[in-house]
A and B are shown apart, each in its own frame.
Chain A
Amino acid sequence: MKKERTILLVLLSIILLASPVLAAGQSEVSNESEKMTLRFFFPIGTAGNLANIMTNLCNEYSEQNPEVSIEAIYAGDYVQTFQRTLTSSRAGNPPDVAVLTNADVWTAVDEGIATPLQTFIDSEGEGFLDRFFPAMLDDCMVAGEYYAIPFQKSTHVLYYNKDMFREAGLDPEKGPETWEELVEYCQALTIPGERYGVEVPIDFYYMAVFILQNGGTINNTDGSETYLDTPAAIEAMQYLKSLVDAGYMPAKRLYGDSSSDFVAGKTAMMYNSSGSLAFVRDSCSFDWGVCYLPAGKERIAPTGGGQFVICQGISEERQKAAWDFIKWMTEPEQAAEWSIGSGFIAVNPKSFDLPVMVEYNNNLPQALVARDQMEYAMGEYPKTHNCRQIAQIMSTTFESIMAGISEPQAAMEELQKSCDSILNKYR
């Protein structure tokens, strides 16, 4: 009697454990029949109620297009969003649309989970891509072919403390224009042991920015070769190292650290994303401004962020619906709504003429500097296969150069060798 009860108990628990699996399988079927539900994975790099804004946008779309509903699924940061996109695609249950950062678009293409978009672009007729800032399209291509459409993009600007500029006898309406001027400004603004002249985030992104500004190249279009041991690259690193050696700049900061140092008055200037504008506005007790990034041999404004990708492994009908959704999201009104809610630059230049956007920019005039800088903009580098790994070893090398652990020349040569060994299987 007792034994039978135990056996029953065991069987019961097995059924209980298995039931969620069974249930999950069933709900899948019922969704498909009525109306089309597109699953949309989106990341949020910064905090806030962005998830709500996104849900509102998606609901708005469903109201206008009753046959389709969008299920907006917050998937973590960029890395996590790609993790979920890739693993669900591998498991045969891909999302229809995902927002991925440039590096992950490359991996998505290599893993065969992203749909080429040229046919969709062609179907819209000539000039469809003119609705975007041209530089934003850089990050949508893998080895010269379109796999993505811009969505949440930011550029980087130089933030500066106007009060400190006045105190040091500098013109508060004008930031440093060139690398040489940046050094002079740092000299005037640095107080050893108390505040830095400038802070630059030490990661692959800024390594690329400074090399590009110095006239260098990061990689070829195929993404199978890097050029990181060129004189232009080494010189760029030496320039930054000289700022650290002079005590103008800390050996390591990242984006968040820099913002908190800036608002705490621990640094007079910082390189940072236009995404930090709202944070700085809300946290600063002093007069501040932004300007273009100082130019080296070239004036280059970097951009970054996320773009839409349509997944493989879904029906043609769903892909078409996904394309329609993406198109809708990048119309001036929606681009403006997302820009105002999130702080990203509206991807559609026409957004800037809308009354809501004009009002927003009146309250945050610094945001217009970011827009105007788009003239000099360029996509996010590196753009290669195994992009995340290349980026990581670039960051590591950058850190060790700035910390004085290795010499720029030797470190960059070593870096180039490591990149070669990672990329040679793609040649």
Chain B
Amino acid sequence: MNTRRLKNYLIAYLLLAPSIIFLGVFTFYPILYSIWTSLFTRISGNSLFIGLGNYIEMFESSEFREVLKNNLIYAVFSTVPAVLFGLILSIVLNSELKGRGFYRFAMFYPTILPIATASMIWVFLLSQSIGFVNHILDKIGIASGIDWVNSSPYAMVSIIVVYIWKYSGYYMLLFLSGLQSIDESLYEEAYLEGANVFTRIRKITLPLLSPTTFFVVLLAIVNSFQAVDQIYVMTKGGPHNSTNVLLYYIYEYGFVYWDTGKASGASSVLFLILLTVTFFYYFGLQKTVNYER
């Protein structure tokens, strides 16, 4: 009996071994190593231990504080609309509608595009002099000659618009799969009882969709802290740092300035932020999620 159990354990560990090794080598070890690296600074190719010096310098610099602020703005204003938009789209496109498949595809297709390509397309769409967006805005008389990616605060708006355009289709898809697991008969019953569309959404759809919403929101928040490619392509963090966010800051310090200490420090900060958000989100909100079906 006991040997059999031991064997079972052994096999379980053996099967887990590849993923544990990979996680160890590519996740846990780098996390610890980057925390260690953040305690050093490099001068002319030599490492020098400076304790928390990098962190102190970072939090004292207006650049880093601005980066944190930008990231917060970006996270809030990209996550909320993208999730809401995805939710509304999914509810609309879950109902009986002519050409439903086409609309679903049309909304989903930005997800398939590589983000670098998508960003480049938007750079052209948003060009001040030859861009389609300004052309349309000018025609309907809302605004003219906005220098989207080159001036603040429009640069941030541009990046947020691209995020929403790129991701809401994906969130829609996730919501759709959640919606399809809700029992039709609940709606029928509510309908017979005289509940209107909004009451049905509020009383049936939203509560039963909450596990999906829970997951999508977490995904969206994490995504918004991982933004770097579209910033690299569209603005390079500019103008005057107004679109510089944490991950781009890390990239610049790490792989352009080769200040590995600062970059590692910023990575640790990002890691802490994501850990905190995930922790509170997970343990704080999980109780409100309705897993009943």
Least Cβ–Cβ distance between A58 and chain B, in angstroms: 27
Interchain CB contact under 8 A, B252 and A10: no
Give residues 247-267 of A contacting B (CB, 8 Å).
250-253, 257, 260-261, 264, 266
Interchain CB contact under 8 A, A86 and B130: no
Least Cβ–Cβ distance between B196 and chain A, in angstroms: 50
Least Cβ–Cβ distance between B15 and chain A, in angstroms: 6
Interchain CB contact under 8 A, A396 and B238: yes
B212 proximity list for chain A (CB < 8 A): none
Q: How far is the CA of A257 from the CA of B130 in the complex (A)?
A: 10
Q: How far is the CA of A6 from the CA of B10 in the complex (A)?
A: 12
A287 near B: Cβ within 8 Å?
no
Contact indicator per residue, chain A 387-427, by CB within 8 Å of chain B (1) or not (0): 01100100111011001010000000000000000000110
B90-98, B111-119, B256-264: which one contacts chain A?
A: B256-264
A155 near B: Cβ within 8 Å?
no
Contact indicator per residue, chain B 225-240, by CB within 8 Å of chain A (1) or not (0): 0000000000000111
B255 proximity list for chain A (CB < 8 A): 79, 83
Q: How far is the CA of A112 from the CA of B44 in the complex (A)?
A: 8
A107-B258, A392-B257, A399-B240 known; A250+B11 contact, CB < 8 A: no
B284 near A: Cβ within 8 Å?
no
Query: Which of A10, A264, A397 gathers the greatest number of chain B CB atoms within 10 Å?
Result: A10
Give residues 362-405 of A contacting B (CB, 8 Å).
385-386, 388-389, 392, 395-397, 399-400, 403, 405
A110 proximity list for chain B (CB < 8 A): 44-45
B7 proximity list for chain A (CB < 8 A): 3
A14 proximity list for chain B (CB < 8 A): 18
Q: How far is the CA of A3 from the CA of B8 in the complex (A)?
A: 10
B150 near A: Cβ within 8 Å?
yes
Contact indicator per residue, chain B 241-264, by CB within 8 Å of chain A (1) or not (0): 100000000001101111100000
Q: How far is the CA of A261 from the CA of B150 in the complex (A)?
A: 14
Least Cβ–Cβ distance between B240 and chain A, in angstroms: 4
Selected contact of A86 from candidates B14, B144, B252, B258, CB within 8 Å? B258
Least Cβ–Cβ distance between A405 and chain B, in angstroms: 6
Selected contact of B147 from candidates A6, A7, A252, A389, CB within 8 Å? A252
A13 proximity list for chain B (CB < 8 A): 18
Q: What residue in chain B is nearest A385 (Cβ atoms)?
A: B44
B268 near A: Cβ within 8 Å?
no
Interchain CB contact under 8 A, A252 and B150: yes
Q: Chain A interface residue count: which class?
A: 35 or more
Interchain CB contact under 8 A, A386 and B257: yes
Q: How far is the CA of A121 from the CA of B147 in the complex (A)?
A: 50
Interchain CB contact under 8 A, B239 and A400: yes
Selected contact of A403 from candidates B128, B152, B253, CB within 8 Å? B152
B17 near A: Cβ within 8 Å?
yes
Selected contact of A389 from candidates B14, B43, B240, B257, CB within 8 Å? B257
B145 near A: Cβ within 8 Å?
yes
A257-B150, A399-B240 known; A266+B129 contact, CB < 8 A: yes
Selected contact of B45 from candidates A17, A111, A260, CB within 8 Å? A111
Q: How far is the CA of A303 from the CA of B62 in the complex (A)?
A: 33
Selected contact of A251 from candidates B17, B44, B147, CB within 8 Å? B147
Least Cβ–Cβ distance between B264 and chain A, in angstroms: 15
Number of B residues near A (Cβ < 8 Å) is 31
A25 near B: Cβ within 8 Å?
no
A127 near B: Cβ within 8 Å?
no
Q: How far is the CA of A266 from the CA of B144 in the complex (A)?
A: 15
Interchain CB contact under 8 A, B18 and A10: yes
B127 near A: Cβ within 8 Å?
yes
Q: What residue in chain A is nearest B255 (Cβ atoms)?
A: A83
Interchain CB contact under 8 A, A252 and B151: yes
Least Cβ–Cβ distance between B138 and chain A, in angstroms: 11
Q: How many A-B residue pairs have CB under 8 A?
A: 83
B17 proximity list for chain A (CB < 8 A): 10
Q: How far is the CA of A252 from the CA of B17 in the complex (A)?
A: 53
A355 near B: Cβ within 8 Å?
no
Interchain CB contact under 8 A, A396 and B240: yes
Give residues 1-35 of A contacting B (CB, 8 Å).
3, 6-7, 10, 13-14, 17
Interchain CB contact under 8 A, A399 and B239: yes
B258 proximity list for chain A (CB < 8 A): 86, 107, 111, 388
A193-B145, A403-B239 known; A250+B256 contact, CB < 8 A: no
Give residues 112-153 of A contacting B (CB, 8 Å).
112
Q: How far is the CA of A426 from the CA of B44 in the complex (A)?
A: 8
B147 proximity list for chain A (CB < 8 A): 250-252
Contact indicator per residue, chain B 39-74, by CB within 8 Å of chain A (1) or not (0): 001011100000000000000000000000000000
Interchain CB contact under 8 A, A395 and B238: yes
A388 proximity list for chain B (CB < 8 A): 256-258
Query: Which of B45, B144, B145 gathers the greatest number of chain A CB atoms within 10 Å?
Result: B45
Selected contact of A260 from candidates B14, B43, B130, CB within 8 Å? B130
B41 proximity list for chain A (CB < 8 A): 425
A392-B257, A425-B43, A426-B43 known; A260+B127 contact, CB < 8 A: yes
A251 proximity list for chain B (CB < 8 A): 147, 150-151, 239
Q: How far is the CA of A86 from the CA of B42 in the complex (A)?
A: 14
Q: How far is the CA of A260 from the CA of B279 in the complex (A)?
A: 48
Q: How far is the CA of A388 from the CA of B262 in the complex (A)?
A: 15
Q: How far is the CA of A250 from the CA of B257 in the complex (A)?
A: 29
Interchain CB contact under 8 A, A6 and B15: yes
Interchain CB contact under 8 A, A403 and B151: yes
Selected contact of A10 from candidates B15, B127, B129, B145, CB within 8 Å? B15
Q: How far is the CA of A107 from the CA of B253 in the complex (A)?
A: 13
Interchain CB contact under 8 A, B150 and A79: no
Least Cβ–Cβ distance between A104 and chain B, in angstroms: 9
Q: How far is the CA of A396 from the CA of B236 in the complex (A)?
A: 11
Q: How far is the CA of A176 from the CA of B255 in the complex (A)?
A: 40
Q: What residue in chain B is nearest A13 (Cβ atoms)?
A: B18
Q: Which 3 residue pairs across A and B have the least CB separation, nearest first?
A: A400-B240, A252-B150, A266-B129
8 residue pairs bridging A and B, Cβ less than 8 Å apart: A17-B18, A111-B45, A252-B147, A257-B150, A386-B259, A389-B259, A395-B238, A403-B152
**Known interface pairs A107-B258, A425-B43; 14 further A-B residue pairs with C-beta atoms within 8 A, sorted by A's residue number:** A14-B18, A79-B256, A111-B45, A251-B151, A252-B150, A252-B239, A257-B150, A386-B259, A392-B256, A395-B238, A396-B238, A396-B240, A396-B241, A400-B240
